[in-house]
Homo-oligomer: A and B are copies of this chain.
């Protein structure tokens, strides 16, 4: 009976979806070199980070200001300047958070720093998290940052590709989600705080490479997606202390074609709530709550790099009940999604000549 109701609701939602394009696309900026992180400042100005290690403010008059003061980072492969986030009280304290690939003994690893943002530079720089250990290679640095309603900072990492089995071990930060206080200290109620040899920052483990994270508005839970190897991209609802299975459990396959691990399910490991096979290479994630797209309210939006589209997932409570592909006509790799204060949706495209686009309702509606 319940599933019948759900089907009827689904059919209804298809009927009320207009067939004409629901949106128009405004090009806010171009000539951005592999932009990765994006935040909207209280002033309406935008901060964009280019992966090669440049932080730009896009001013409302169309000019750009290069913000100085970033620490040394490794800009190679998938590494460099990655995500940006504002402190929940940014308007008062001006703390900007950024994740990046930090060089050091043994190679490189993800790190997170925060600094006070002034008009032209970063000051009072504090490195608040350093992924241990560093490894060789330039893949799978993660990383997204998100604050929840209580002010905890979640950091998603990758398993650095050439060290994937570490995702199953608690003595390191690879393939993990971490939970910190805003200034970088460890909350005393983290799940492994009393586990011998475990890194106390760990909130969940068994992840491959997470480049999308957001707080689910009704529940306050952390939702993330992660890249699968060849197939097997996942959406997961994160529970404290849970094991998400990589690389022992996956819907993906080795790039060489062989099987990985022990199938798609193991007792004691959390299953994904959604899987993409083949992979879309998800990056960027947003629960839409704006007024401009009423049909999309409550939807989960996910960007796709290899998939070159914007995915809209319709939710029914904590279940995903429908998937819609949007923007395929643009042929762009989508790295990041950010909700604009006016209800529009900002998108960063991943390219040497990357763009900042804004999705707005079609004018003829």
Contacts and interface: CB of A to CB of B under 8 A. Distances in A.
Interface of A: 76-77, 106-107, 133, 135-139, 161-165, 168, 247-248, 254, 256, 258-261
A136 B77 contact: no
B136 A261 contact: yes
A168 B258 CA distance: 27
Given A136-B247, A136-B248, A248-B136, A258 B77 contact: yes
Given A260-B136, A261-B136, A254 B77 contact: yes
Contacts of A261: 107, 136
How many copies the complex holds: the figure is: 2
Contacts of A162: 161-165, 247
Contact of A76 (B133, B136, B259): B259
A246 to B, nearest CB: 9
Contacts of A135: 165
Nearest to A250: B136
B258 A165 contact: no
B139 A256 contact: yes
A136 B260 CA distance: 7
Given A77-B254, A254-B77, A260 B164 contact: no
Contacts of A256: 77, 138-139
Contacts of A139: 254, 256
Contacts of A137: 164, 247, 254, 260
A259 B261 CA distance: 28
A233 to B, nearest CB: 18
A163 B172 CA distance: 14
9 contacts: A77-B254, A77-B258, A135-B165, A136-B164, A136-B260, A137-B247, A138-B259, A139-B254, A139-B256
Given A136-B165, A137-B254, A139-B254, 11 more contacts: A77-B254, A133-B165, A136-B248, A136-B260, A137-B260, A138-B254, A139-B256, A161-B162, A162-B162, A162-B165, A163-B164
Nearest to A138: B258
B260 A165 contact: no
A260 B139 CA distance: 11
B254 A165 contact: no
Closest 6 CB pairs of A and B: A77-B258, A136-B247, A162-B164, A138-B258, A135-B165, A76-B258
Contacts of A136: 164-165, 247-248, 260-261
A150 B168 CA distance: 42
A296 B248 CA distance: 49
A261 B260 CA distance: 27
A12 to B, nearest CB: 45
Nearest to A162: B164
Contacts of A77: 254, 256, 258
A7 to B, nearest CB: 40
Contact of A106 (B106, B163, B165): B165
A165 B260 CA distance: 20
A168 B133 CA distance: 13
A259 B139 CA distance: 11
Given A136-B247, A247-B136, A165 B76 contact: no
A33 B248 CA distance: 29
Nearest to A107: B165
A248 B139 CA distance: 16
